[in-house]
Amino acid sequence: MAITFDYAAWAAAYPEFSNVTEPQITARILPSAQQAIAGFIGNVIDPQQQTNFLWLMVAHLCKLNFGVVGSPATGLVGRISSATEGSVSVDVEFTTSLAQAWYAQTTYGALFWQLARPYWLGGFSYPAPPPTPFPYR
């Protein structure tokens, strides 16, 4: 199922990205965003939820590539764990799982990760297997 991207509606929902133009999103961000959600979006039945996932992924990629209004992209990966002002020093910590690491770089990606997790399992929960009736040694 193809999701149509409405730039005007997205820009109204995410005004912090007014520094990013529609041609930039169409040419540079949208193909990557659609590829990033392609693996699980078929499990999402509601078209509004599909749109929300696409919008979050576009916002995540925009933040990584362009930054937001008044704050350009930093190039830092991870959470700032400490900062000093004299002689300017910043330490970055990256403590997420390898699967979650790329998403955790922005608040949009972290929200995407949390909302998408149930769909990666196909909407099913997988309980622990039952104990075996006799021990294997």
pLDDT surpasses 60 at 47: yes
Q: Name the pTM for this structure.
A: 0.73
Would 2 be classed as within a structural domain? no
Q: Once rounded to an integer, what is the mean pLDDT over residues 41-69?
A: 90
Q: Once rounded to an integer, what is the mean pLDDT over residues 82-90?
A: 75
DSSP 51-99: HHHHHHHHHHHHHHHH-BTTB------SEEEEEETTTTEEEEE--S-TT
What DSSP designation does 128 have?
A: P
Report d(CA 15, CA 41) in Å as an integer. 25
Q: Write out pLDDT tens, residues 106-123.
A: 889 888 988 888 877 655
Whole-number pLDDT of residue 121: 62
Would 128 be classed as within a structural domain? no
Helix orientation angle between 30-37 and 47-66, rounded to the nearest 10 degrees = 130
Q: Compute the C-alpha angle 25/92/61, nearest 5°.
A: 10
Would 134 be classed as within a structural domain? no
Q: Which two tokens stand for residue 2?
A: 């193809």
Whole-number pLDDT of residue 90: 72
Report d(CA 71, CA 16) in Å as an integer. 10
Would 125 be classed as within a structural domain? no
Give the structural domain span for 63. Answer: 7-120
Among 33-42, 47-56, 114-123, whose mean pLDDT is lowest? 114-123
Would 99 be classed as within a structural domain? yes
Would 38 be classed as within a structural domain? yes
Half-sphere exposure of 30 (CA within 13 A, CB side): 16
Number of domains in the chain: 1
Q: Who wins on pLDDT, 99 or 6?
A: 6
Residue 59: count of CB within 10 angstroms of its CB: 25
Would 1 be classed as within a structural domain? no
Q: Who wins on pLDDT, 9 or 82?
A: 9
